């Protein structure tokens, strides 16, 4: 299971285009937390913390705790809108998950023992078709990655 990262956020009382622009002018990124049969919560996230997590990889398959000061929400990032010119995040959608929620997430695949593989030693090539695999998993059991051992894979093996 992956570790849960805490993101600090502040509540915002208004929704809509004008309110989101005001949040951006204040130097924060507007976001929304929805799901788990509860009312949506409008929040504003620190752009530095968000960028740090965005660039770590696996952003959409990691759980986060959104701490608003009054309560915490266990969430999974579902969508990020970026500015078309600057590539800065403009808005984030977070899906609130419960302890028993079943989710579809894309998990990265890591390959090991490539240098020891029988097929590669004989002159074969490793052709990676997908770098992620979609799995259905409980919210608390999302793996960091899936590991594929290539040690005993021969030419034309899969």
Sign of the torsion angle spanned by Cα atoms 6, 9, 14, 16: negative
Would you give the DSSP letter of residue 158? -
* Every domain range in the chain assigned CATH 2.40.240.10: 5-98
The CATH fold assigned to 5-98 is Ribosomal Protein L25; Chain P (2.40.240)
Taking the model in full, what pTM does it have?
0.79
* Residues in the chain where the model's pLDDT stays below 50: none
pLDDT at residue 42, rounded to an integer: 92
pLDDT at residue 45, rounded to an integer: 94
pLDDT one-digit tens code per residue, 82-104: 999 999 999 999 999 987 888 88
In terms of phi and psi (left: phi > 0; alpha: psi -120 to 50; beta: otherwise), the region of 19 is: alpha
pLDDT at residue 90, rounded to an integer: 94
pLDDT at residue 57, rounded to an integer: 78
């Amino acid at each position: 299971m992956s570790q849960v990262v805490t993101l600090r956020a502040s509540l915002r009382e208004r929704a809509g285009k004008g309110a989101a622009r005001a949040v951006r002018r204040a130097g924060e990124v507007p976001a929304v937390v929805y799901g788990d049969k509860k009312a949506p919560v409008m929040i504003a996230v620190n752009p530095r913390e968000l960028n740090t997590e965005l660039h770590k990889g696996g952003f959409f398959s990691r759980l986060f705790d959104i701490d608003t000061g009054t309560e915490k929400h266990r969430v999974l990032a579902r969508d990020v809108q970026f500015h078309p010119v600057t590539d800065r995040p403009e808005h984030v959608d977070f899906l609130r998950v419960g302890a028993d929620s079943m989710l579809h997430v894309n998990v990265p695949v890591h390959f090991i023992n490539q240098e020891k593989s029988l097929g590669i030693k004989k002159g074969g090539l490793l052709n990676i078709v997908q770098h992620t695999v979609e799995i259905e998993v409980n919210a608390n059991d999302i793996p960091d990655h899936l590991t594929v051992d290539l040690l005993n894979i021969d030419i034309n093996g899969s």
